[in-house]
Amino acid sequence: MTRTPASLVRAEPGPPYEITFDGRPLTALPGQSIAAALWAAGILSWRTTRDGGAPRGAFCAVGTCYDCLATVNGRPNRRACIVPARPGDAVTTQKGSGHDELAV
């Protein structure tokens, strides 16, 4: 038997639903944060830094460090570690501040 965090606490989440990451369909479970759904799919990085474009993902996982910023449904700078995944969410890689297209 595979041990998972859900099995360890005997969680019985509702039915899974679909979100997308950069257009790729992923499965999320009720109660998962966007970061948790990305991790479960093996995705560890969903942002690049303003200086140098270094990859970033979740670091603190409690909403403090802001390393996990993602663009969700076209809205940049969402902390993926504390934003719940919702059915149909479209998560996209955030480049820099998420407002690069506005730069002059």
Residues at the contact surface with ligand FES, assessed by CB under 6 A: 58-61, 63-68, 79, 81
- Indicate the residue among 19 and 79 with the shorter CB distance to ligand FES: 79
Q: Measured from the CB atom, is 29 or 65 closer to ligand FES?
A: 65
Q: For the CA atoms of the chain, what is the radius of gyration?
A: 14
* Rounded least distance, CB 82 to ligand FES, Å: 6
Nearer to ligand FES (CB atom), residue 13 or residue 63:
63
Residues 6+ apart with CB under 8 A from 56: 45, 46, 47, 48, 49, 67, 68, 69
Measure the CA–CA gap between 77 and 8, rounded to whole angstroms: 32
Pairing type for strands 47-48 and 94-95 reads: parallel
For residue 41, how many other CB atoms are within 10 A of its CB?
15
What minimum distance in Å lies between the beta carbon of 18 and ligand FES?
23
**Residue (67 or 93) nearer to ligand FES, CB:** 67
Q: Taking the complex as a whole, how short is the minimal distance between the CB of residue 28 and ligand FES, in angstroms? A: 17
Instruction: For residues 79 and 35, give the distance between their C-alpha atoms in angstroms, rounded to a whole number.
Output: 9
Q: How far is the CB of 68 from ligand FES (least distance, A)?
A: 3
